[in-house]
Amino acid sequence: MTPIYQIQSEILKYLDEWKDFVWDLDLENTFGPEPDKPYRARGGKFFKENRAEYACSTECLMSLKHMEQDGYPPDSYGLDLNQCSRWLKEGDIEERYARPIIDKSNWLDEHLGNYLGYRFCALKIWYPKDGYISWHTNWNVPSFNILFTYNEPGKDLGYWRHINPQGSTSPVPNLGENEEGLVHIPDRPGWTCKVGYYGRKSEHEKIVWHSAFSNSPRMTLGYVIFEEKLWQNTCEEIAGEQLVWPLAPYDPNSDDYYSR
């Protein structure tokens, strides 16, 4: 995955309106495992065991049954606002809490979706402090992806991790003898973006094992595009400039990322 750290203003307008809406839900106080919380936590095995960050550790990664992985994260701790329609239908959330989120989520999909031309939004997740999404691949939906992430300025920030699949000869993560295959991308304040391709299980050099952790409230939007050229155009629209393809991989020693 390659970062885009400068997002053009028209896109930021939609992202900021969504961010303001979500922050107004006061999820730091209204989300949690307690039965009286309007927005109840689901999952969070490692959070409940007081070892939330273990979910993103290489130890956790290598303990998985890699060949049996279905593509979905085996554990996470956060609120995926994309699921409100399903929870409402199943009676797991009250209408008065779900409806505003469903309406605003539809607004975002209509406006930002029409602007960017993405196929569908796979994720709209808010993470609390010590929130996470554990190691997984998304190989059940091989596609080009765009991830927008928001972190509050002035807070202790989290990170994204993935395994560089270059040289892989099987679906097992190519971590390397000294973990040289681990790519650790620290979060930055405000809105940032990461883009890349998640390969199918048979595309060994394109499988992206990935995870993310939050040290303070954090939010991610995940968009899926199946056509490479459309994805490239969307990436350039986000960056506000023509990019050089293929995009350069993340370099921790570089501070200059539109995505060059």
- 169: helix, strand or coil: coil
CB 141 within 8 A of CB 153: no
**How would residue 79 be classed by pLDDT, with cut points 50, 70 and 90?**
very high
In whole angstroms, give the CA distance from residue 15 to residue 151: 12
- 123: helix, strand or coil: strand
In whole angstroms, give the CA distance from residue 48 to residue 200: 32
In this predicted structure, what is the pLDDT of residue 114?
83
Indicate whether 254 pLDDT > 90: no
Label residue 256 left, alpha or beta by phi (over 0 means left) and psi (-120 to 50 means alpha). beta
Q: Which of 133, 149, 135 is nearest to 78 (CA)?
A: 133
- CB-side neighbour CA atoms (13 Å) of 103: 7
In whole angstroms, give the CA distance from residue 92 to residue 88: 6
Indicate whether 6 pLDDT > 90: yes
| Mean pLDDT calculated for residue range 116-120 | 81
CB 237 within 8 A of CB 223: no
pLDDT, tens digit, 9 for 90 and up, residues 222-246: 999 999 999 999 999 999 999 999 9
Domains plus CATH for the chain?
A: 2-239 (2.60.120)
In this predicted structure, what is the pLDDT of residue 255?
64
